[in-house]
Structure 1
Amino acid sequence: MLLQSPWIPHLASTGANVAERLSLALAGDIIEGRLAGGDRLPAHRDLARTLQIGLGTVTKAYAALERRGLTRSIKGRGTFVAILQAHGGRQIDLSANAPPAALGARLLARTLTGIARKIDADHFNLYAPPGGHLEHRRVLARWLDTLGLGVEPSHLVLTSGARQALALAFDLVCGRHGVILTERITYPGAIALARRRGYRIQGAQIDSEGMVPQALAEALAGIKATEGRAVYLTPTLHNPTTATMGVDRRQAIAEICRQAGAWIIEDGVYAASSPGLPQLATLAPEIALHVNGLSKSLGPGLQIGMLALPPSLCEAAQDFLRELPMAPSALSCAVVDDWLATGVIAAIQQDLRHEARRRSKLAASLLGTRGLVWHPDAYNAWLPMKRDVADGVFSAAMDMGVKLTLPQSTMVRPGDSASGLRICLGGASWEELNESLAILAALLK
């Protein structure tokens, strides 16, 4: 027996024709929350009889609702509301670029029990020295070594998250009137951080491998060497475009910066997701600062950031950190030490790569015909489009209970016409991801 529909049939007072008036009436009740996700709409014939309109008119109105992603039809069962209400209901967040959940309660309980017997109480009783305890820096240097980045613990600064490490890198090399060159479309956090700290930020052209070397060389030539020039880029799984630089591109970027006397700030937070390529800090160790963290490679709860420095900047970093210490939690460092010793980190990263590939393939299957740019190891996908279109899709998705990254936040120049939508695939449950991507697919039609 089919469920009765909770909707009270009526027509909107405005609209060009009856089908449009019916579509507007239903859409308004769905978006305003009077109908909830999963509610059944009246059968075509019943609605036509109740409103005394043609059956074809109902069919046309229902088809328009489905194209907007507001409803879905199931053969043999009827038509149902597909929207996830933001009013009094849940909202699916595809705006935060977090990895899929990989840490279980049993693993955490076993880890905490184990480290309780061997943790150093002085790490809780005493303030950490600038840059973090030497023992903790040794632990994190071992982890960076698994990514192909050999770094002396004395050249490593630990912070409470990668964004703190990035802020420190900007402050160390940019100076009062510094200029940060970066990809034209880039990580929203870096754009916001540079603007908040008063640095000029300038975008360079990008292609399928990220920053274009010739565009970088031309941009550097136009900035005075005395102004403090830093090139901030993400060579592996660039956020948000997922572009990854090949070896030749990395070598070209490193040589251009070396010849121009510019610092490199390498964002390596996704390097563990796609290992095997050389880090820029290994290609140009005398000018490159490497930013990393564990939130993207293990889980958001592990707020540990790292900044690997050239020897020439170590003393300046120590002076800065005496005024504003940034050391991470001693407990988090003890957890990482335990997981490195027991092989847990390698197992978690393998699981995360498997889940990232499963989610990326799902996104490609639903949005691939719309020009989706994706990488099997990335936690997000990129949908390039004109700025006005991106703004429209963003707003419509919000109305339907799907939160995306604000298009403007990824753009170095807010006035650019070329933009896009970052779709974060890791934070939502598998069921929520399926439903929200289906809504986006319907919207894009």
Structure 2
Amino acid sequence: MLLQSPWTPRLADIDASAAERLVLALADDIIEGRLQGGDRLPAHRDLAWQLEVGLGTVTKAYAALERRGLVRSVKGRGMFVAIRQAHEERVIDLSANVPPAMLSARLLARTLAGVARKIDADHLNLYSPPSGHLEHRRLLARWLETLGVTVEPSNLALTSNARQAISLAFDLACGPHGVILTERVTYPGAIALARRKGYRMQGIALDAQGMLPEALAEALDGVASGENRAVYLTPTLHNPTTATMGLARRQAIVEVCRKAGAWIIEDGVYALGPPTTPALVELAPERVLHVNGLSKSIGPGLRIGMLALPAEMTAEAQDILRDVPMAPSPLSCAVVEEWLASGVIASIPQDLRHEARRRSSLAVSLLGTDELVAHPDAYHLWLPMPREAADRLAAAAASVGIRVTPPESVMVDPGDPASGIRLCLGGPSFEDVTEGLTLLARMMKGSRPHDAAG
């Protein structure tokens, strides 16, 4: 005689498919200890009948749970809660800021077949020019036009990824020594690059629209005479806060930098599709070095970086790139060419925006809106809080198998008492994101009285 299941069937109360809701409900009860190792789960048909869902829905949900190691199937007996617990066996990674997976194996196979018929063998047999092959620069200048950025191919330098483009921009704007002014919290990769290269980095206050022009002007006035100055900022979907500048703010930042004679390094990697406000490089092409890339807007494996330069900087950029070549893979460029011709590259950002809004909406529903800073087009979000509270939450999350961005990694000033937690929603599956956010919401709810008292 089969044992009765102790589980009361339910579906999680989220906006998702029935299978995803069932997975979350069961995973939640297992992780929280409401189901113990060895407990029997309802039979497939019984559960489908009780929840009024299809048999395939139950089969799909059980399979997902089994892949995670939460349940195990015993032939002839049924499905059981696994002995091991989820947080001891797996990690939900909410620290890596990558877009959701949009590229299928079928699309890739079709793309590579097309590339094989058209790729120029000389691109693989010969070294590329320092700034990249001219046809590849023309190709990527066309792609930048879809984002509202107009650049002559001759003023475009190609690199293997956007971080290399930032590195090149730092060298061009600051020379061997200089100061980089940026948002008080900013992209961890830029902070790491500046420290490694020996550049002094100064944090500037920001609000819901990003960097404050008045604070920037004051900081620029305080820089020592003769010291090279560059302003690095992300005006669209800022990392980590998702702040996006309106037109008036962008114009004010440009005017401050013009008056001070400072270069602007604009990070545009998070923009998806045509902008509602112009990029900084469109407002001040003579002063802005515009960084872009494909890993955030198409897929992490497509490693191509771009740096649109003022004409006066192109010769120096070529000299640097001749000493330290950074050109992207010709195969990656051929893939982009194929996707531009077929229209695929136009549809992927649309799909990413749809999935970003789905995940952002989920985060708002689970975490609430009091502390959360989110944008519907961003696949990361920001929880501002005191540094000590951020460290405690990051450690508590790690203890249950949830990895978040370390608070110190986004802080320009390590001694700043204000920080926060960046949560990246793009990398894990929707089910894992739901599970991770649900656990984080419970931790935050349980910590508030303690924080208020302490």
Query: Which residue does the alignment assign to 2:154?
Result: 154
Deviation at 1:341, TM superposition (A): 1.3
> Closer, same or farther in 2 for the Cα pair 1:82/1:363, shift >3 Å?
farther
Partner of residue 393, structure 2: 393
CA contact (8 A) 1:180 1:199 kept: yes
1:335 corresponding residue in structure 2: 335
| Corresponding residue SS for 1:245 | coil
Report what 2:114 is aligned to: 114
Query: Does structure 1 residue 202 correspond to structure 2 residue 183?
Result: no
1:177 Cα deviation from its structure 2 partner: 2.3
- Equivalences for residues 338-349 of structure 1 within 5 A: 338-349=338-349
Equivalent residue number for residue 193 of structure 2: 193
Using the TM superposition, give the Cα deviation of residue 412 of structure 1 relative to its aligned residue in structure 2, in angstroms: 0.6
Gaps of 5+ in 2: 8-28, 37-80, 446-454
Contact 2:146/2:274, CA 8 A, preserved across alignment: no
Structure 1 residue ranges without an equivalent (≥5): 6-34, 43-78
List aligned pairs for 1:21-60, cutoff 5 A: 37=31, 40-41=34-35
User: Is the contact between residue 194 and residue 201 of structure 2 (CA under 8 Å) also seen in structure 1?
Assistant: yes
The separation in 1 between residues aligned to 2:255 and 2:217, in whole angstroms, is 10
Correspondence 1:2-401 to 2 at 5 A: 2-3=4-5, 37=31, 40-41=34-35, 84-85=86-87, 87=88, 89-272=89-272, 275-401=275-401
- The percentage of aligned residue pairs carrying the same residue is 67
**Aligned amino acid, residue 266 of structure 2:** E
Count the aligned residue pairs: 379
Instruction: Please give the secondary structure, in 2, of the residue aligned with 1:257.
Output: helix
Structure 1 counterpart of 2:404, which letter?
L
Note if contact 2:210-2:245 (Cα within 8 Å) is conserved in structure 1. yes
Measured against aligned partners, the alpha-carbon deviations of 1:44-73 in whole angstroms (never above 9, x if no partner) come to xxxxxxxxxxxxxxxxxxxxxxxxxxxxxx
After TM superposition, give the deviation of residue 246 of structure 1 in Å. Answer: 0.3
Contact 1:39 1:81 in 2 (8 A): no
SS in 1 for 2:101: coil
One-letter amino acid of the counterpart of residue 422, structure 1: R
Specify the code of the residue in structure 1 equivalent to 2:177. H
Residue 448 of structure 2 aligns with which residue?
none
Superposition deviation, residue 370 in structure 1: 4.5
Query: What is the rounded CA distance, in whole Å, between the counterparts of 2:256 and 2:225 in structure 1?
Result: 14
Separation (CA, whole Å) in 1 of partners of 2:382 and 2:199: 27
Listed one character per residue, the Cα deviations across residues 71-123 of structure 1 (whole Å, up to 9, x for unaligned) are xxxxxxxx9999732x4x11010000000000000000001101111110000
Separation in 1, partners of 2:357, 2:145:
25
Contact 1:236 1:244 in 2 (8 A): yes
Normalised by the length of structure 1, the TM-score is 0.82
Alignment partners' CA distance in 2, 1:371 and 1:4: 37
Give, as a single letter, the amino acid of the residue that structure 2 aligns with 1:241.
T
8 Å contact 1:273–1:378 — kept in the other structure?
Answer: no
Is the contact between residue 293 and residue 305 of structure 1 (CA under 8 Å) also seen in structure 2? yes
1:274 & 1:399 partners in 2: Cα distance? 41
Letter in structure 1 aligned against 2:311:
P
What whole-Å deviation, never above 9, does each CA across 1:182-215 have from its counterpart, x for those lacking one?
0001111111110011000000100000000000
Alignment-derived partner of residue 57 in structure 1: none
Q: Please tell me the residue identity of whatever aligns with 1:429.
A: S
TM-score between both structures, scaled by the size of structure 2: 0.81
Deviation digits for residues 117-171 of structure 1 (CA, Å, limit 9, x no counterpart): 1110000000001010001000000000111111000000000000000000001
Shift of 1:275: 2.5
Greater Cα shift, 102-111 or 219-228: 219-228
Measured in 2, the distance between the counterparts of 1:179 and 1:381 equals 28
Which residue number corresponds to residue 31 of structure 1? none
Q: Distance in 2 between matches of 1:223 and 1:182?
A: 14
Q: Is contact 1:37–1:82 with CA below 8 Å preserved after alignment?
A: no
| Secondary structure in 1 matching 2:231 | strand
1:24 matched residue in structure 2: none
State whether residues 83 and 400 of structure 1, in contact with CA within 8 Å, keep that contact through their aligned partners in structure 2.
no
CA-atom RMSD in angstroms: 2.1
Q: CA deviation at 1:369?
A: 4.1
Q: Write out per-residue CA displacement over residues 324-376 of structure 1, whole angstroms, 9 at most, x where no aligned residue.
A: 00000000000101111111011111110000000000000011245100000
SS of corresponding position for 1:327: coil
Aligned counterpart, 2:71: none
Structure 2 letter corresponding to 1:84? A
In structure 2, relative to structure 1, the CA distance for the partners of 1:274 and 1:82 (3 Å cut) is farther
Tell me the equivalent position of 1:54: none
Distance 1:312 1:429, change over 3 A: same
The alpha-carbon deviation at position 37 of structure 1 amounts to 4.0
Q: Deviations over 1:264-285 (max 9, x none)?
A: 0000001225722211111111
Amino acid at match of 1:427: G
Supply the distance in 2 between the matched residues of 1:239 and 1:380 (Cα, whole angstroms): 8
1:200/1:342 CA distance change after superposition, 3 Å? same
- 2-structure distance, mates of 1:231, 1:259: 13
* 1:3 CA displacement: 4.9
Contact 1:4 1:40 in 2 (8 A): no
What SS class does the counterpart of residue 272 from structure 1 fall into? coil
